[in-house]
């Protein structure tokens, strides 16, 4: 169960009926942000909503958005860009779910190593106009 929704792996032997307790049933394929948002909206619609089953082939929901737990703390991955101006629908969904956000400087960095030695490093916030070669 996720937020009142049923999640399932595809199973050709299951054939759900079209009605469940008077509510219409619907299947959503894909447990990424689009599938989960769609399922949540359908489930919570005014007038009773739908009984929703989300089918996801992976072992976890979230698509490419995920939280990795490590000794240093949790690392959230997935969103490349998120801002209040351009993502109004996502902001509205986060507000409805009680998800907080934090301001960010939207920087990006890249480091390439060979044999444990940095060959090249780049950052969008380091004042450089392009790659900085730091290796031999």
What pLDDT score was predicted for residue 17?
Answer: 47
pLDDT by 10-residue block (mean), the chain, 136 residues: 53 46 88 92 87 93 84 79 83 90 74 76 60 54
What pLDDT score was predicted for residue 40?
Answer: 92
What pLDDT score was predicted for residue 50?
Answer: 93
14-31 per-residue burial string, b: 16 or more CB within 10 A, e: under 16: eeeeeeeeeeeebebebb
Question: Please, which residues have CB within 8 angstroms of residue 128's CB and are 6 or more apart in sequence?
Answer: 122
What pLDDT score was predicted for residue 51?
Answer: 94
**Where are the extended beta strands (E) located within the chain?**
6-8, 19-20, 23-29, 51-55, 66-70, 73-77, 109-114, 117-123, 132-133
Three-state secondary-structure class, residue 43: helix
Q: How far apart are CA 3 and CA 44, in angstroms?
A: 10
What pLDDT score was predicted for residue 101?
Answer: 84
What pLDDT score was predicted for residue 1?
Answer: 47
Q: pTM to 2 decimals?
A: 0.59
Q: How far apart are CA 24 and CA 18, in angstroms?
A: 6
Asked if 56 contacts 30 with a C-beta cutoff of 8 angstroms, the reply is yes
């Amino acid at each position: 169960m996720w937020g009142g929704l049923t999640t399932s792996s595809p199973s050709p032997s299951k054939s759900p009926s079209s009605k469940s307790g008077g509510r219409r049933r619907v299947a959503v394929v894909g447990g990424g942000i689009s599938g989960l948002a769609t399922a949540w909206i359908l489930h919570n619609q005014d007038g009773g909503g739908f009984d929703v089953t989300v089918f996801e082939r992976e072992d976890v929901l979230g698509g490419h958005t995920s939280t990795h737990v490590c000794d240093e703390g949790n690392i959230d991955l997935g969103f490349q860009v998120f801002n209040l101006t351009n993502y109004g629908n996502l902001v509205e969904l986060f507000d409805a779910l009680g998800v907080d956000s934090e301001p960010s400087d939207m920087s990006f960095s890249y480091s390439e190593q060979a044999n444990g030695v940095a060959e090249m490093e780049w950052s969008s916030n380091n004042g450089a106009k392009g790659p900085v070669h730091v290796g031999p």
